[in-house]
Amino acid sequence: MRDTAPSPPNLRHLSAALTIWKLGSISRATSSVHLSQSAITQGLAKLEQELDILLFTRSSTGLHATEAGEIFLRRAERAVNWLTAIEQATSLRSGRKTQPLYRRLTSTQLRTLLSVVEQGSYSRAAQHLGLTQPTVHRAIKELEIVCNQELFQRSPAGMEPSWLARKMARLTSLFLSEIRLGREEVEELKGLSAGSVRIGCLPLARTKLVPHAVTHLLNEFPAAHISIIDGPYEEQLHALLHGQLDMIVGALRHPSPSPEIEQQFLFRDSLHLVVRASHPLAGRAAPPTAELRNLGWIAPKHNTPARETFSRFFADSGFDPPTQMIECSSLVAIRSLLLDSDRVALLPARQVELEVEMGILAASPQPLEGTGRDIGITVRKNWQPTRLQKRFLALLDNF
């Protein structure tokens, strides 16, 4: 699929605008960014034209950011901080101290790097970006010269990125995410857009928690763009750490799988025995653990909080976990397996609430003892939500 996202602004123009914002005049910015006054003036005009806003107003005391300019430049400063982190990853290798690395990079080089890492080949990256393959190859070679590092090696599977290439791609992705949010906040100020929320959704949150909050959010912000993404936790965590998701909603992980995330507790949820409505156990309290162990189970997949809870439940009662089980995390598949057999599953009552109301599944009246799990929101550390995203978090917290 071709990349249709707006191109990031020229990095030199962006750097010049940030310097003017801090120093208050074009003349004072010239020595800092190593550009002439005319070059800075032209670059600033191009940046304002691209963003379709006025970044500064002129007065006798210098240049001052407009309201829209203040909003965008604060985001741009956060964005550039991610690119500055690239310097820390390459400084010992490059040994070049002339000017910040990000000022020697181009937006094309960064987008190309990100695409080659994600797509795994020059040809697929070229197709994704709408460029020719020689253009992509040239951009990578120029980037390698700037960084004084080889970023890719050919392998039977395609282009294999180095550790540094992967790190640069992640930081670039976070840079682009902040620029996107800056554009959205400016559009929101102009009344042209309500912004976006990209939500990673784990099993429990898919059935009611996230849909309920999204519905209420859209009642307040009908023009908001909402993306709800499901999939394995590992994939969602990767997307979150690369700025491709704003948050993950669902079971929290203990211990935390990354030092770069924060987990916000919402509520504690326990697991119930779930069967088809005509099952002999339907409507009954859960039988003793020894009897439960001999049932045909549909168990959560390994390395998930639900599976850890499943195993711990039997271990706490002095039993080994059942051996006759089907491993499955898809509620659609679990429902079909339950309806077609006498198997049982251990699930949150909230997750099958609709099926229970429809009379096709039944959940034990009481949760199984010791099966509580923490449910909440996972975000990146130092993440700065937009007004729309803050409202969505408040709706989740009030659920």
DSSP letter for each residue of 304-370: SHHHHHHHHHHHHTT-PPPSSEEE---HHHHHHHHHTSS-EEEEEGGGGHHHHHTTSEEE-SSPPTT
What pLDDT shows up at residue 324? Answer: 80
CA-to-CA distance for 270 and 176, rounded, in angstroms?
A: 39
Which amino acid type is present at position 154?
R
User: What is the enclosing helix (H) or strand (E) of 269?
Assistant: strand 261-269
CA-to-CA distance for 294 and 287, rounded, in angstroms?
A: 11
Query: Look-up: residue for tokens 């002339």?
Result: 98
- Complete DSSP assignment for 173-197: HHHHHHHHHHHHHHHHHTTS---EE
- Three-state secondary structure call for residue 226: strand
**Bridge partners of 373?**
269
- Three-state secondary structure call for residue 205: helix
Provide the CATH number for the domain formed by 11-172 in this structure.
1.10.10.10
pTM above 0.85, yes or no: yes
Other CB atoms closer than 10 Å to residue 64's CB: what's the count? 15
Burial of 264 (0-12, 13-18, 19+ CB in 10 A): middle
Say how many CA atoms lie within 13 Å of 227 toward its Cβ.
13
What pLDDT shows up at residue 1? Answer: 62
User: What is the enclosing helix (H) or strand (E) of 380?
Assistant: strand 373-380
Domain with CATH 3.40.190.10 in the chain: 194-267+375-397, 271-371
The CATH superfamily holding the domain 194-267+375-397 is: Periplasmic binding protein-like II (3.40.190.10)
Say how many CA atoms lie within 13 Å of 28 toward its Cβ.
11
Domain with CATH 1.10.10.10 in the chain: 11-172
Task: Encode the chain (399 residues) as per-residue pLDDT tens digits.
Answer: 667 677 888 998 999 999 999 999 998 888 888 889 999 999 999 999 999 999 999 888 889 999 999 999 999 999 999 999 888 776 545 455 567 777 888 999 999 999 999 999 999 999 999 999 999 999 999 999 988 889 999 888 788 999 999 999 999 999 999 999 999 999 999 888 889 999 999 988 888 899 999 999 999 999 999 999 999 999 999 999 999 999 999 999 999 999 999 999 999 999 999 999 999 999 898 888 888 988 999 998 888 898 999 999 899 888 888 888 999 988 899 999 999 999 999 999 989 998 999 999 999 999 998 899 999 999 999 999 999 999 999 999 987
350's tokens: 């909230």
Other CB atoms closer than 10 Å to residue 99's CB: what's the count? 12
Integer angstrom CA distances of residue 359 from 17, 345, 356: 62, 17, 5
- Three-state secondary structure call for residue 158: strand
207's tokens: 């059935």
Q: Which CATH number among 3.40.50.1780, 3.30.450.20, 3.90.1310.10, 3.40.190.10 corresponds to the domain 271-371?
A: 3.40.190.10
